[in-house]
Copies of this chain bind each other. A is one copy, B any other.
């Protein structure tokens, strides 16, 4: 049993405070993908909910705790999905939510955060600048700072996906997980290592934002000076030491994929699974495309973790030309 910061009993308890709209998401074999990938493929789909990503699982846990303790406000930095989810969870509990994001985040994500009544503050830099600014707001206002992947509730929320994978009596023998800050990978990985230890846990990160993967391989925090990837949801540069420690206990491997593989994976998911996904959610399929021999004949599950994507960019990436319609 991995001695991570996570605890399976707490993860089960987390499920009980999460709005059911985020739970028990579709898990299904997608045979139409398989001739293209050379292995059996199952999908865990986290996009069919009000915020179109898995992040609502974690923000439900946080917002529930805050509302229960009488807190009135919370701030987070977000690449877009966490902020949208926190805005959703906070709105229904009467919390004042502030989200700090890079002004280079996808417009669709920023628009949705505003539409969910959160206060949105944009910074000129990247996600790491947003993290600094969010921390400053929390200090100044004396309110809770929600830090993705560091704060255990975000990992516990993500880990509820792992419970659902295990409850499905998994026939898959490898799980491909998008790796960004690490909440998804450590959360799901913890549950799998404890309850389905034979399943290989493989994290996937873009070659253009490799900090956590490099850190995992070197077993110490490695930062990068820049991040250059279309997978905005996982484009961090400063791995969190405590999360890396957990990742070292829960991941069997961490691999990097090229941008062209990410867009090819997005196109395959559109053409053969009918799924519109954001780049981060295509990382698992991209990993199969880059190493078919490794997965040949195996049964692989990938978590399709988000579907918030600017459609103009999406069409450009997958190779379709949008005509502006209604």
Closest to A304 in B: B48
Interface string of A315-326 (1 = CB under 8 A from B): 100111111111
Q: Is the CB of B274 within 8 A of A307?
A: yes
Closest to A314 in B: B274
Q: How far is the CB of A191 from chain B (nearest CB, A)?
A: 20
Given A274-B309, A276-B270: A50 touches B29 (CB 8 Å cut-off)? yes
Neighbouring B residues of A271 by C-beta, 8 Å = 311, 325
Q: How far is the CB of A320 from chain B (nearest CB, A)?
A: 5
Interface string of A281-323 (1 = CB under 8 A from B): 0000000000000000000000000011101000100111111
Q: How far is the CB of A112 from chain B (nearest CB, A)?
A: 7
Q: Is the CB of A323 within 8 A of B321?
A: yes
Q: Is the CB of A274 within 8 A of B274?
A: no
Neighbouring B residues of A57 by C-beta, 8 Å = none
- In the complex, how many residues of chain A place their beta carbon closer than 8 angstroms to a beta carbon of chain B? 43
Interface residues of A in 238-279 (CB under 8 A from B): 264, 267-268, 270-271, 274-276
Neighbouring B residues of A31 by C-beta, 8 Å = 50, 115-116
Interface flag for A45 (CB, 8 Å): yes
Neighbouring B residues of A143 by C-beta, 8 Å = none
Q: Is the CB of B311 within 8 A of A270?
A: yes
**Bound CA–CA A318/B274 (angstroms):** 14
**Bound CA–CA A30/B267 (angstroms):** 24
15 contacts between A and B (CB under 8 A): A21-B26, A21-B27, A24-B24, A25-B26, A28-B50, A32-B112, A47-B274, A52-B274, A264-B325, A270-B311, A274-B276, A274-B309, A319-B322, A319-B325, A320-B322
For the complex of A and B, the 8 pairs showing the least CB-CB separation, nearest first, are: A26-B48, A319-B323, A274-B276, A321-B321, A274-B307, A267-B325, A319-B325, A320-B320
